[in-house]
Amino acid sequence: MSGHGERRTMTARKGGPLRGEAEIPGDKSVSHRSLILGALAVGETRIEGLLEGQDVLDTAKAMRAFGAEVERTGPGSWLVRGVGVGGFAEPSDVIDCGNSGTGVRLIMGAMATSPVTATFTGDASLRSRPMGRVTEPLALFGARAVGRAGGRLPLTLVGARDPLPVEYRSPVPSAQVKSAVLLAGLNAPGITTLIEAEPTRDHTERMLRGFGAEVEAEVTEAGRVIRLVGQPELRPLSISVPRDPSSAAFPVCAALMTEGSDVLVPGIGLNPTRAGLYFTLREMGADLAFENEREEGGEPMADLRARFSPSMRGIETPPERAASMIDEFPILAALAACAEGKTVMRGVKELRVKESDRINAMARGLEAMGVRVEETEDSLTVHGMGPGGVPGGGMAAARLDHRIAMSFLCLGLAAKAPVSVDDASPIDTSFPNFVPLMRALGAALEG
Ligand code: S3P
Pocket test for ligand 1, best of 102, 208, 244 (most atoms within 8 A of CB): 102
| Runs of H (alpha helix) within 198-274 | 203-210, 245-257
With cut-offs at 50, 70 and 90, classify the pLDDT of residue 2.
very low
- Residue with the smallest CA separation from ligand 1 atom 11 is 29
pLDDT at 77: 98
Pocket test for ligand 1, best of 176, 208, 331 (most atoms within 8 A of CB): 176
With cut-offs at 50, 70 and 90, classify the pLDDT of residue 4.
low
User: Which ligand 1 atom sits nearest the alpha carbon of residue 354?
Assistant: 9
d(CA 37, CA 45) in angstroms, rounded, equals: 9
CA–centroid distance, residue 350 to ligand 1 (Å): 10
CA–centroid distance, residue 392 to ligand 1 (Å): 30
Catalytic member of 27, 96, 327, 401: 327
CA–centroid distance, residue 15 to ligand 1 (Å): 34
Report whether residue 407 contacts ligand 1, using a CB cutoff of 6 Å: no
- For the stretch 324-371, pLDDT in tens is 999 999 999 999 999 999 999 999 999 999 999 999 999 999 999 999
| Confidence check: pLDDT of 120 > 80 | yes
pLDDT at 60: 98
Domains of the chain from N-terminus onward: 10-26+243-446 (3.65.10.10), 28-240 (3.65.10.10)
CA–centroid distance, residue 52 to ligand 1 (Å): 18
Q: Phi, psi at residue 434, to the nearest 5°?
A: -55, -50
pTM: 0.97
Residue 327 a catalytic site member: yes
Closest CA relative to residue 39, chosen from 97, 3, 78, 94: 78
- For the stretch 249-280, pLDDT in tens is 999 999 999 999 999 999 998 999 999 999 99
Report whether residue 326 contacts ligand 1, using a CB cutoff of 6 Å: yes
Closest CA relative to residue 315, chosen from 288, 286, 289, 287: 286
d(CA 373, CA 37) in angstroms, rounded, equals: 42
